[in-house]
Amino acid sequence: MATKIVIDPVSRIEGHLKIEVLVDDGVVKEAKSSGMMYRGLENILLGRDPRDAARIMQRICGVCPTSHGLAAAFALDEAYGVAGSITDNGRILRNLIQGANYVQSHILHFYQLGALDYVDVAACADYSGSDPTLKKVKDFIGRGHLGPFVPRYEGDYRLSKEENRAAVAHYVEALNMRRLAHEAVAIFGGKMPHNMSIVAGGVTAAPSVDKITAFLWKIDQLLDFIDTCYLPDVLLVAGRYSDYFGIGAGCKQFLSFGVFDMDSDPDLTKRHRYFPQGIVKGADLKLRRLDPDKITEEVDSSWFVNHGAVHPYEGSTVPDRDKAGAYSWVKSPRYDGEVLEVGPLARMLAAYAGGDKEVQGLVNGVLQQFNASPEALFSVLGRHAARAIECKLVAEKLKQWVLQLQPGQPTFTDFPLEVTSRGMGLHEAPRGALGHWIVIEGGKTKNYQAVVPTTWNAGPVDSQGQPGPIEQSLIGTKVKDKNNPFELVRIVRSYDPCLSCAVHVVTPRGEDLGHFVVG
Ligand code: NFE
Ligand code: MG
């Protein structure tokens, strides 16, 4: 008989996600991914000065505000006709602010969010050595404070006691590292979270020799942590849990908008970006060109008034909590009607397919180490490995890029405000492809739509009956113990979902739409 498993909320992710699966004969037959919290920002912008978007849209999320500030700035650059005139300083500063946020976000994901699926913190309970961090963790557990470390998955921890303890020490050190990365963002971003310096036309922060030195010093320490802890820990986990190279494949089609501008081409589909833009389908690893006109959002299974499959410029956000058949506050973005996965794996595949030798070397190295074929990248471990590889590459690039800043040279290009136009901001947040679309009329924002990474990954079934990527990853998964479904949460967490980003709408009158118990 089929059994229903409901995980609500999925912990150690950002925001409120519910996963519901139907298991028959030990295998997931159906899966539903539901964004369970209603909040938002798109509608707040309507009627406001368009420039507010680069400030207000950052409030979507405290983890990736930088990405939303930049996606808004890219959209505004186009709307104000300044996209082709971003100075080198402005372009590089944007890359530095975003890159340092990637490093923070990826370390956060592996240690604070993902690692406890694989690392047994209870290995510290009988620690008798002298390491002050492990002694503190032991005391913490001894007082019954399992808070950040639960839920735990008895029965499938595979590291040795010593390996577990070392990983727990790295978990604690990762907190310090994330503070350093936040500080690096703030050097040029003004503060973190919610950067102040990202604006249409460039960046308002001025580079100086002392800021460059401070940034470099922080990135150096972060790179050391990535090389000596993050990458080895991911490889250790991959070695012990190598079956997860064959679990959680998903839709096997990937989208990257491209990130880290290398020039200021006014057309974001032509701009040269360090990680390229494009679509990769399956293991042929060919990079296909993106046509942003083919992007649509549907709300057939979402609690919104139905509008068919519409381009974000025509999108709307009108809630309908009682809609029959709907089961999520997340919309269903599609590309030419197809389901696509986004995130570090999508970016690394696009770079690999685009011929990036460094990415090819690192990805091939991981595959050879585990004697795996490229197909193995479409998996739980493929996502973790791609994130770690990207983290290293970005940190290394940040050290080079910061030295290209020119103190005393302009960081911002001014532009006339009288505009009736629209603009598209294609960008990559740490969690994947992020697009903002703005329509301006009479100097005010007439429509604003954000299509964010977790909307692509965690979205529900569309009008064609196609489940979203996370749902597809869950379907077909073997569940050993329905009371302890660690396979399912490992799959979901490998996507690094963020529901605060994915659900970002608000009812205009602010009425009470429902009560959700998430404790
Ligand atoms: Ni709230 Fe975000 C990132 C964006 S993801 S973390 O990265 O956009 O849905
Ligand atoms: Mg949206």
Beta-carbon contacts of 29 under 8 Å, excluding residues fewer than 6 positions away, are 2, 21, 22, 23, 475
Angle value at C-alpha 431, between 188 and 69, nearest 5 degrees: 35
The closest-lying atom of ligand 1 relative to the alpha carbon of residue 455 is 9
The closest-lying atom of ligand 1 relative to the alpha carbon of residue 15 is 1
Kindly give the distance from the C-alpha atom of residue 378 to the centroid of ligand 2, in angstroms, as a whole number. Answer: 26
Pocket test for ligand 1, best of 331, 434, 456, 504 (most atoms within 8 A of CB): 434
Which residue has a Cα nearest atom 9 of ligand 1?
A: 454
Average pLDDT over residues 50-58: 96
Please give the ipTM for the structure prediction: 0.95
The closest-lying atom of ligand 1 relative to the alpha carbon of residue 430 is 7
| Residue 109 to residue 160: CA distance in whole angstroms | 22
User: Worst-scoring range by mean pLDDT, 311-320, 469-478, 506-515?
Assistant: 506-515
Neighbouring residues of the ion ligand 2, judged by CB less than 5 Å: 450
| Residue 339 to residue 335: CA distance in whole angstroms | 7
**Residue 93 CB burial class (10 angstroms; 0-12, 13-18, ≥19):** buried
**Residue 16 CB burial class (10 angstroms; 0-12, 13-18, ≥19):** buried
The closest-lying atom of ligand 1 relative to the alpha carbon of residue 500 is 1
Kindly give the distance from the C-alpha atom of residue 64 to the centroid of ligand 1, in angstroms, as a whole number. Answer: 5
Pocket test for ligand 1, best of 16, 33, 60, 63 (most atoms within 8 A of CB): 63
pLDDT tens sequence across 224-261: 999 999 999 999 999 999 999 999 999 999 999 999 99
Kindly give the distance from the C-alpha atom of residue 365 to the centroid of ligand 2, in angstroms, as a whole number. Answer: 37
Token look-up 């739980």 returns 380
pLDDT band at 516 (very low <50, low <70, confident <90, very high): very low
Beta-carbon contacts of 356 under 8 Å, excluding residues fewer than 6 positions away, are 275, 276
The closest-lying atom of ligand 1 relative to the alpha carbon of residue 14 is 1
The closest-lying atom of ligand 1 relative to the alpha carbon of residue 68 is 8
- Cα Dmax for the chain: 71
pLDDT band at 506 (very low <50, low <70, confident <90, very high): very low
pLDDT of residue 519: 43
CA distances from 422 to 14, 74, 323, 439, 445 (A): 31, 11, 31, 4, 9
Q: Which residues, judged by CB distance below 6 Å to any ligand atom, belong to the binding site of ligand 1?
A: 14, 61, 63-64, 67-68, 429-431, 434, 452-454, 498, 500-502
Q: Is the pTM of this model over 0.90?
A: yes
Pocket test for ligand 1, best of 64, 103, 426 (most atoms within 8 A of CB): 64
| Residue 252 to residue 341: CA distance in whole angstroms | 7
CA distances from 129 to 133, 161, 178 (A): 10, 13, 26
Tell me: pLDDT of 24 over 80: yes
pLDDT tens sequence across 394-434: 999 999 999 999 999 999 999 999 888 999 999 999 999 99
- Average pLDDT along the chain: 94
pLDDT tens sequence across 70-117: 999 999 999 999 999 999 999 999 999 999 999 999 999 999 999 999
**Residue 293 CB burial class (10 angstroms; 0-12, 13-18, ≥19):** exposed
User: Worst-scoring range by mean pLDDT, 9-13, 128-132, 458-462, 471-475?
Assistant: 9-13
Tell me: pLDDT of 139 over 70: yes
Dihedral angle over CA of 498, 504, 507, 509, nearest 10: 110
Kindly give the distance from the C-alpha atom of residue 262 to the centroid of ligand 1, in angstroms, as a whole number. Answer: 23
Pocket test for ligand 1, best of 12, 41, 501, 504 (most atoms within 8 A of CB): 501
> Which tokens sit at 227?
């090389």
pLDDT tens sequence across 330-372: 999 999 999 999 999 999 999 999 999 999 999 999 999 999 9
Ligand approaching nearest to the C-alpha of 343: 1
pLDDT of residue 503: 75
Which residue has a Cα nearest atom 8 of ligand 1?
A: 452
Tell me: pLDDT of 508 over 60: no
Choice between 151 and 17, residue whose per-residue pLDDT is larger: 17
